[in-house]
Structure 1
Amino acid sequence: MAKDRSDILYEFIKDKDYRPMRARELAAFFCVPKNERGQLHDILDDLERQGKISMDSKGRYLPIAEKKHIGTFMGTARGFGFVGLEGRDEDIYIPEKYIGSALDGDTVRVQIFKSKRNNKSKAEGKIVEVVERANETVVGVFEKNQNFGFVIPDRDKLMTDFYIPKSKTMGARNGEKVVLRVTDFGDGNKHPEGEIVEVLGKPGKPGVDILSVVRSYGIPEDFPDEVVRQTHEVPDSIDEKGMAGRTDYRSYMTVTIDGEDAKDLDDAITLVKTEDGFELGVHIADVTYYVKEGSQIDKEALKRGTSVYLADRVIPMLPEKLSNGICSLNAGVDRFTLSCLMKFDKDGKMLSSKIEECIINVDHRMSYSVVGDIIGAENQENVPPEYKKQYGGFVQMFFDMQQLARMLKKRRIKQGSIEFDSTESKVILDDRGKTIDIIPYPKNEANDIIEEFMLAANQAVAEESFWREIPFVYRVHAEPDLEKIKELSNIAAKFSYKLRIADDKIYSKTLQKFLESLEGSEHRGFLDRLALRSMKGAEYSVNCDGHFGLAMKYYCHFTSPIRRYPDLQIHRILKENIGTSMADKRFKHYEKILENVASESSRLERRAEEAEREVIKLKKAEYMLGRIGETFEGKISGITSWGIYVELENTVEGMIRLSDLRDDVYSCIENEYRVVGKYSGKEYNLGQSVTIRVADVNLALRTIDFTIEE
């Protein structure tokens, strides 16, 4: 086959009806003699070098699309990866040989050389350029060699270790946790290189584990000097100047209700029960009075995006003097607020709302547990005398809160808001930072009261802002991925549960009814998780696209400006629109900046959530490490071809490998989510109660291995 026929070969491969072929198939198709097949390979190699075609993981040749897409690379511990593209539900599969020097989290340019043709095939691609690096620093364990060292990263998704020249080890000792700065990202064939910039200490040393997570995710801890300087200028108490034009709510019965250990108190509540219904005030800390737009404090807050809550520490968005001091709605002191004042009828229907700048003074700093105890008494007569004596007339207000919150929740559920049956964990640490217990996070009806009041305020603020047609930052939640919902429907059907999908569309009310039908079922936890995984993540947007999970057309985050930047940002916007219209210049200013505020806030929120989850996994593994050999009761929460997942009452989840089941040869019937013994016929099914023994724990991988205890 002559080389001048390369154009013909390329046009053939590029044809829309082309079926991907290997070299030998192409040779047979074109009737290429055996003595000319070397020329065919030369032509294919030349076309590949030109970037016109590429070979997939099965050795088949495919055309490379001329358009190069930009997205985020997601590595895996197994060597391959994916690129997520905006506006495209299906991620692009990247074989290991086409990853190049890209690392997990990098922004990359990818060429797609295989388009998805049916539900069983994925789009494949090749990374041709790293547009932006996400891993300037890496955390891992230092391994020392005679003439050099290398670092094995904590994040296995980085898929490579890092070479460290002997002169760049900073005196790190073998096995210590370190932070390295990447000096050379390599080229896919050569390992990346770096220099150690911080030695964290030996794994297991108090604080080192969580500090490693903090450094790994690049979460800033210390505030820059200029931010510290500006913070010193912030007053310790409110000033007379700031009181001008504010509505005075200091004579109203006012409380905050938070967790016992909370220090940054964003929100306070006033409630008056009237003959016609309720007047609810949700009073939110007026952080913008102290954090001016464009100040160094404001820039740092945008850079952080959110406070990060880890097991043994809080990394705040704002300096402590603000977050725990002048901005926090502490009891017994005057504070400035931006308040959403709402009126409801006797059935909990919102009649009106308005936003005002106010001044308040909190009477009592309440906890969820105490308020839960009070309203759990069901009526005032049964409330413990010590609470009646301490809180007096506030006891009745708590029952009024309970009444209104119940009505709000009932209305919300009626319109289709989804309630997932998920259990959060609370990690209990000793004074050295070691895990001594893990318990389901305690919740009671007091939590529901605050949640319903905050939801009502967020919805009211978003709706008013939408109809005023001002630039704004909304909290949006897109519809679930239809393919995942169909998969969920098929799995549910195997257990005799129905999830109806009409006209290729899923409605929040339909999903809500489905989850309600699982109440009390042994399959509830598993199917609830699958439903949750089918959902897309909520994010911030300048477009009011609605919130699927809450079944709300208008929604935003207004209630936590101490710990979330979007709330702080929209407070500024709202204050510029109280009693007037926003100046045209400011309108254009917000139109210009809000897209970046929304996207950065979404990204930083995901970073914080990932770090928080990683710490919980780490602390759970640490807790179980001290319990190797002990037995626990649990329920089967997942079944795969490689093992059975079991969740314990304390929310710890571990895996029983099928190869460790010694009493029979077991195989997994994946589409039925059960494991069956070949000879005995013994089965393990989802939701089944089992007794397990803790067999092994890998702190580095955060994995826990169980064995069945007969």
Structure 2
Amino acid sequence: MDQAFEKRKKVIYDFICDDFYVPMKAKEIAAVLQVSKEDREALRLVLEALVEEGKITLSKRGKYSKGKPRVLTGTFQANARGFGFVLPDAEGEEDLFIPEECKNGAFQGDQVEVLVTGYKEGGRREGKILQILSHGIVHVVGLYQKSKGFGFVLPDDAHVEQDIFVAEADSKGANDGDKVVVELTSYGDGADEKQKKNGRVRRPKRPEGKVVEILGKAGEPGVDILSIIKAYDLPLDFPEKVKNQAERVPDAISEADMAGRLDLRMLQMVTIDGEDAKDLDDAVSLEMDGENYKLGVHIADVANYVQENSALDREALKRGTSVYLVDRVIPMLPTRLSNGICSLNAKEDRLALSCLMTVNPKGEVIDHQIAETVICVNERMTYTSVAKILEEKDPEECQKYETLVPMFEQMAKLSAILRESRKKRGSIDFDFPETKVILDENGKPVELKAYDRNVATKLIEDFMLLANETVAEEYFWREVPFVYRNHEAPDEEKIKSLSTFINNFGFHIHVGNQEVKPKEVQKLLAKIEDTPQEAMICRLALRSMKRAGYTPENLGHFGLAAKYYTHFTSPIRRYPDLQIHRIIKDVLRGRMKEEKAAHYEAILPEVTKHASETERRADEAERETIKLKKTEYMQQHLGEVYEGVISGVTRWGTYVELPNTVEGLVHVSNMMDDHYEYVEDSYEMVGEHTGKTYRLGQPVKIKVLSVDKLSRTIDFTFFEESEE
């Protein structure tokens, strides 16, 4: 650029650095400086440079101001397309978009220090990474590719953007095509040691590592799931000390165990679970008291066997939750406990924590008691069996369980009352079909189907929700340290984006006082039910919600429209529930003195943070195994034709969901009968010459085109009747 232009830039730069105090928009700064049209480009470049340097900041409303630059810490999340995001450590801080040129060599999972540089298009907050505080990923799982004298590992995780170089001496004898775990010894640092001359940009230095474990040949039975387990650092086996402690746990309860407990063994009660469930941690009972229902929710007293800070407890805390993958369960507790003394097996005396509630015909809890109890379950029921009794009136099932049928019928009535009560207050029910994957003995998927939410599954869900709310409210008012399951209200910006989107289809969501009420989301879901846009709008509404999590503070549960909520009902598989049981028992036994309360106040912030993180890890691992098996299943059906429904429309193609819950993409490059344009306002694909339109909710026929097991994606192409 010429010297005059550079001189004008310096004048602007000096003014902003020395005499700029009041927040202004770019055009206001231009007016103060009397910047000519020719100098507008100079002003823009100066403002961008000063924001980049952190000398001024750019607000959401487009105003530039001086002041101390905002610097945050957080976790870097890479994207395969080069850019990334930083998830701030501080609560309430929204994520920052990090352009590719502002990553400063950050690697997936790194703990970083980031400068908030302002807001860009669409109100998106952006930042620049100042320094890497620590590396978050040590091990990477991927496919080993052997070359002469060295090798490379192609990461399974798309967030790890580069292949990892492995010297031959560090390969541990891995062969081409092996799935391996590689330990990173260098993270790349963003550039080679040798500078490129003549002003050329330095070539990024590759990450390096050494193979520490060979999982097996890619494609062999079990290796694919094992790769995901290792990628998410899920623990496969229990340490010897934990196993030994579990072995010392008795097989049956003693008279001493029952001392001082409320004896409920004469109460008629059942467990209701899936056919393959082995860890039965909740039982239910119901009696009538005039027009009122006396509902009992009885939860295994796991805390009686897992003492705080024992080897069992430390391992359970570390795991945080049981992980349910398509071919196995990775339990939080050893099976000797979870399937043995802590499982509420039929006809066996068990220790429990019971929430005994009196519920009126309106679904209101008018009285309740939380107590340490002794119980004995009458029958181990399944969802299928109870549904047969209640929905089909199956003669064989009704005769087999004739003494329990009247209780099941009353349970169904109470369940309907509770569901209607929650609906009236605004509880949101995102009823997405979950996938059940049927595997053969070699782990190969032979069938995919949607889980059936029948009357029995809903019944148990309703009773557990009521117990969780009842326990949370009591302990909130007791003002003792506690663990809550919170789901905060959605961000205003996300709700505004959702509102703009649904307006295109003639729907509306009311936002009052800068916030949306759960009732409004519920009304929206009712309006879109059975419309072509239902699936897409439901997904977008769900994405606009915040993620539920655990904290020691009660913040309410937006999705359930509940003021108080906790997780009390699954201490075998969730650590927060086990922690809550300990607190309840300390209160019931009069041990919640000042010193004990201070102890809980000290540990609960970290316990709840870790529990939220392990829950997220478990959810992601479960989703990845299901995606993997879906691609493996569809690989067996290449070229086959299916009927489906368009579930999403984007500029790069059209997503189609099949009845078996598989979703695939018809990429624009595979829509070869015409040139299709994406119409953003109506979310349609329209053919330029034919006028043919593909829109949300439209039934279509597709042919399975290809499958990529590495990226776990499926490609379809539209199938025309004329092709048959």
Q: Determine if the alignment matches structure 1 residue 72 to structure 2 residue 109.
A: no
How much has 1:98 moved relative to structure 2?
2.4
Q: Determine if the alignment matches structure 1 residue 205 to structure 2 residue 220.
A: yes
Distance 1:44 1:166 in 2: 50
Moved more, 555-564 or 398-407: 398-407
Distance 2:304 2:487 in 1: 30
How much has 1:322 moved relative to structure 2?
0.9
Match among 401, 413, 425 for residue 423 of structure 2: 413
Q: Which residue of structure 1 lines up, in the alignment, with residue 187 of structure 2? A: 185
Mapping of 1:145-544 within 5 angstroms? 145-189=147-191, 190-377=205-392, 382-384=393-395, 386-544=396-554
Gaps of 5+ in 1: 21-25, 56-60
How much has 1:13 moved relative to structure 2?
5.6
Distance 2:618 2:585 in 1: 28
Q: Which residue of structure 1 lines up, in the alignment, with residue 119 of structure 2? A: 116
Corresponding residue SS for 1:574: helix
Q: Which residue of structure 1 lines up, in the alignment, with residue 194 of structure 2? A: none
Corresponding residue SS for 2:681: helix
Moved more, 342-351 or 670-679: 342-351
How much has 1:54 moved relative to structure 2?
12
Write out per-residue CA displacement over residues 154-176 of structure 1, whole angstroms, 9 at most, x where no aligned residue.
01111122111111101111121
Distance 1:269 1:494 in 2: 46
How much has 1:418 moved relative to structure 2?
0.5
Q: Which residue of structure 2 lines up, in the alignment, with residue 94 of structure 1? A: 98
Mapping of 1:123-142 within 5 angstroms? 123-142=125-144
Corresponding residue SS for 1:635: strand
Moved more, 234-243 or 535-544: 234-243
1:365 and 1:338, CA in 2 relative to 1: closer, same or farther beyond 3 A? same
1:48 and 1:544, CA in 2 relative to 1: closer, same or farther beyond 3 A? closer
TM-score normalised by the chain length of structure 2: 0.90
Write out per-residue CA displacement over residues 207-260 of structure 1, whole angstroms, 9 at most, x where no aligned residue.
111111111011111111211121111111112221111111111111100011
Tell me if the contact between 2:57 and 2:118 (Cα under 8 Å) persists in the aligned partners.
Answer: no
Report the residue type matching 1:639 in the other structure.
V
How much has 1:10 moved relative to structure 2?
6.2
Report the residue type matching 2:171 in the other structure.
T
Distance 1:166 1:435 in 2: 36
Alignment: residue pair count: 683
Report the residue type matching 1:534 in the other structure.
S
1:625 and 1:31, CA in 2 relative to 1: closer, same or farther beyond 3 A? closer
How much has 1:436 moved relative to structure 2?
0.7
Tell me if the contact between 2:299 and 2:352 (Cα under 8 Å) persists in the aligned partners.
Answer: yes
Distance 1:93 1:551 in 2: 31
Tell me if the contact between 1:51 and 1:64 (Cα under 8 Å) persists in the aligned partners.
Answer: no
1:47 and 1:405, CA in 2 relative to 1: closer, same or farther beyond 3 A? closer
Tell me if the contact between 2:383 and 2:457 (Cα under 8 Å) persists in the aligned partners.
Answer: yes
Q: CA RMSD in A?
A: 2.7
Distance 2:595 2:36 in 1: 67
Report the residue type matching 1:130 in the other structure.
I
How much has 1:7 moved relative to structure 2?
11
Gaps of 5+ in 2: 28-32, 59-63, 192-204
1:446 and 1:44, CA in 2 relative to 1: closer, same or farther beyond 3 A? closer
Mapping of 1:583-622 within 5 angstroms? 583-622=593-632
Moved more, 8-17 or 589-598: 8-17
Corresponding residue SS for 1:498: coil
Give percent identity, aligned residues only.
48
Write out per-residue CA displacement over residues 373-422 of structure 1, whole angstroms, 9 at most, x where no aligned residue.
10113xxxx441x3233212101111111011111111111111001131
Q: Which residue of structure 2 lines up, in the alignment, with residue 708 of structure 1? A: 718
1:88 and 1:49, CA in 2 relative to 1: closer, same or farther beyond 3 A? closer
Q: Which residue of structure 2 lines up, in the alignment, with residue 644 of structure 1? A: 654
Corresponding residue SS for 1:120: helix
Distance 2:558 2:313 in 1: 31
Moved more, 497-506 or 299-308: 497-506
Distance 2:409 2:329 in 1: 33
How much has 1:509 moved relative to structure 2?
0.6
Write out per-residue CA displacement over residues 327-375 of structure 1, whole angstroms, 9 at most, x where no aligned residue.
1111121110011111112333211111100111111110001000101
Distance 1:624 1:412 in 2: 39
Tell me if the contact between 1:99 and 1:188 (Cα under 8 Å) persists in the aligned partners.
Answer: no
How much has 1:677 moved relative to structure 2?
0.8
Tell me if the contact between 1:89 and 1:481 (Cα under 8 Å) persists in the aligned partners.
Answer: no
Q: Which residue of structure 2 lines up, in the alignment, with residue 23 of structure 1? A: none
Distance 2:424 2:65 in 1: 51
Distance 2:394 2:684 in 1: 49
Report the residue type matching 1:462 in the other structure.
A
Write out per-residue CA displacement over residues 291-315 of structure 1, whole angstroms, 9 at most, x where no aligned residue.
0000011011111100000000000
Distance 2:589 2:223 in 1: 52
Distance 1:679 1:49 in 2: 46
Tell me if the contact between 2:264 and 2:374 (Cα under 8 Å) persists in the aligned partners.
Answer: yes
Tell me if the contact between 1:179 and 1:196 (Cα under 8 Å) persists in the aligned partners.
Answer: yes
Q: Which residue of structure 1 lines up, in the alignment, with residue 691 of structure 2? A: 681
How much has 1:133 moved relative to structure 2?
2.5
Distance 1:372 1:45 in 2: 64
Moved more, 125-134 or 680-689: 125-134
Distance 1:616 1:646 in 2: 17
Report the residue type matching 2:87 in the other structure.
G
Match among 544, 549, 552 for residue 562 of structure 2: 552
Distance 1:217 1:206 in 2: 19
How much has 1:88 moved relative to structure 2?
4.6
Corresponding residue SS for 2:275: coil
TM-score normalised by the chain length of structure 1: 0.91
Corresponding residue SS for 1:464: helix
1:50 and 1:341, CA in 2 relative to 1: closer, same or farther beyond 3 A? closer
How much has 1:100 moved relative to structure 2?
3.1
